[in-house]
A and B are shown apart, each in its own frame.
Chain A
């Protein structure tokens, strides 16, 4: 009988899940982020931005009613199966009007068909894989995409570093790294007009900690610049081990490097590394940037990460779209988001193109004196 008791309890839970739909009160925004698992760090940063925006702009006005905006945070556990469940839960149970997220393009892609079917618009904050928005008219993003970022770094490598030969070290199990590496390679070869200017492409896997073999090879090639777009967890170690081996070549990377842990782990070794990102705290690009920076500094007493600014922007774009549409109908909200033009976000002006991607300027930063320091801005 005890066994049956357990079985009955499980079915009761299922029914509770199935029948527990409540009528929505305020306006709900779904926050679809990895709070646990491999991508927990990035997810937490984006949620910070969204929460801050919610504190500063907690309501939205439709008609003559002021609706409070409620955030529903659904953890996708950095796992695709969970991501599908989390997204489904947000659109079905919580009846959110907009989904914000996720950090990690593969997780956003799991949510793609779900938001499309439910006709709820989703705004990606920092996922840069072109496939997230391609073919999905309900997914947008407030950041640039990998093809642009790769070109930006290639330009920097050729024009500023005056590099003629490069070596690429990529995280072969990370779609972001593989994509960015390819776009960089294509641009670099075109700019140097030399099909052999990429001397080698070395790989490592997520979670690896020893790169001595790959880096010793790099030493053999003696390139002018090394492009190592990978997650900050491994990249910090890559740079450190490179310096230990006596490799003095400049390192270039992508936006995933801009986290406090990159400097915390890399320490002195990552001085002088250069990377592209979405946002610089020294150069407030718009009025919204100032508001964001002041509020963040006051609350957390430290400098924000770029993806936090993007989280902030995603929330604002969604809220502005609802006000423009003057309706709580998700299809109309979606149309309003698609028409976003010259919206002043904390991380720059946002105009969404026909794919739902934002054409935004990239900011190039370096590590100087143990801090992220702004170098220059690159227009799209």
Chain B
């Protein structure tokens, strides 16, 4: 493989990995608080992208305004989802809340089919994000340069919130022991809502950026990215925000580099993510940056 080719593959991997990382952060935040795999995360991702699209298409808003509005609407939707589908089940066995998550995911997907139509829609990507930038032999879409910046900025902001503010401390308390936090006077419901809102906002942002890079909307667009980003979060250590970013980049790399070195296996690409997940779960179940948590009897 020539150096130019390798560099291009590397650039592709970075671009995809940073996108996975961004979405994985939302997943990991929710899991950290509620110990819930939010299967509906991928669908919130899809909703964000659709809302941004409709803001532009129906109301002719400038793209950045459409994006901002979509983020907020989706954040509220996420809070609502938690209220309706997860809060009533907080004291039930874990299986119930997981089934509720799956049900919510299917409900949102099918509602999207009914409301938006099953046929894919093309996205009008704003020109500054849609230009090809060349670094010598390597070509990269301009939005792919923006995404890693977003990811790291958000990472920094979140780390500051979680470690440096009172809300963050409340979040950490709830994530460690929800009952004890409640007894200590933390308004658990509010913390959970805030986490969900933030997670959903991040999912929506991920969805919108995804739709700028791959400008095609369809109601099922969130399924695979959702699962892959969950895998990324698990690999990095679920509940750990830094881990989610690391996991995202790692997943992007392995997915693309395997195809780069073994192009005959390009059809098996999706399977790599799952194989990687299973390997990590077997060798280090708490993920690369996760801590070992002993289970209390």
Contacts and interface: CB of A to CB of B under 8 A. Distances in A.
A and B co-occur in one complex: yes
B270 A216 contact: no
Interface residues of A, number: 37
B218 interface: yes
A272 interface: no
Contact of B8 (A36, A210, A214, A245): A245
A233 B216 contact: yes
Interface in A191-238: 200, 202-205, 207-210, 212-214, 216-217, 219-220, 233, 236-237
Interface in B144-166: none
A261 B260 contact: no
Contacts of A245: 8, 139
A236 B224 contact: no
Contact of A261 (B2, B121, B210): B121
A212 B256 contact: yes
A261 B119 contact: yes
A213 B256 contact: yes
A40 B8 CA distance: 36
A332 interface: no
B143 to A, nearest CB: 10
B103 interface: no
Given A213-B9, A213-B256, A246-B139, A40 B120 contact: no
Tell me the dominant secondary structure on chain A's binding face: helix
Contacts of A213: 9, 12, 255-256, 259-260, 266, 269
B224 A207 contact: yes
A194 to B, nearest CB: 21
Nearest to B123: A265
Contacts, number: 100
Given A41-B119, A213-B259, A245-B139, A220 B5 contact: yes
A233 B120 contact: yes
B266 A207 contact: no
B16 A265 contact: no
A236 to B, nearest CB: 7
Given A213-B259, A216-B5, A261-B122, A237 B267 contact: no
B207 to A, nearest CB: 12
Interface residues of B, number: 38
A263 B121 CA distance: 10
Interface in A164-193: 172-173
A173 B270 CA distance: 12
Contacts of A236: 122, 216
A209 B5 contact: no
Interface string B129-142: 00010100001010
Contacts of B118: 36-37, 40-41
A264 interface: yes
Contact of A212 (B12, B216, B218, B270): B12
Interface in B250-297: 255-256, 259-260, 263, 266-267, 269-270
A206 to B, nearest CB: 10
A264 B121 contact: yes
B47 interface: no
B215 interface: yes
A41 B120 contact: yes
Nearest to B12: A212
Interface string B1-12: 110010011001
| Best-surrounded residue of A38, A200, A261, A266 (most CB of chain B within 10 A) | A261
A219 B5 contact: yes
B113 interface: yes
A203 B268 CA distance: 8
B269 A205 contact: yes
A246 B135 CA distance: 12
Contacts of B121: 261, 264-265
B170 interface: no
A73 interface: no
A172 B267 contact: yes
A203 B122 contact: no
A37 B117 CA distance: 10
A344 B3 CA distance: 58
20 contacts: A36-B118, A202-B263, A204-B266, A204-B267, A207-B223, A208-B224, A209-B214, A210-B16, A212-B256, A213-B255, A217-B259, A219-B5, A236-B122, A244-B141, A245-B139, A261-B120, A263-B122, A265-B122, A265-B123, A267-B122
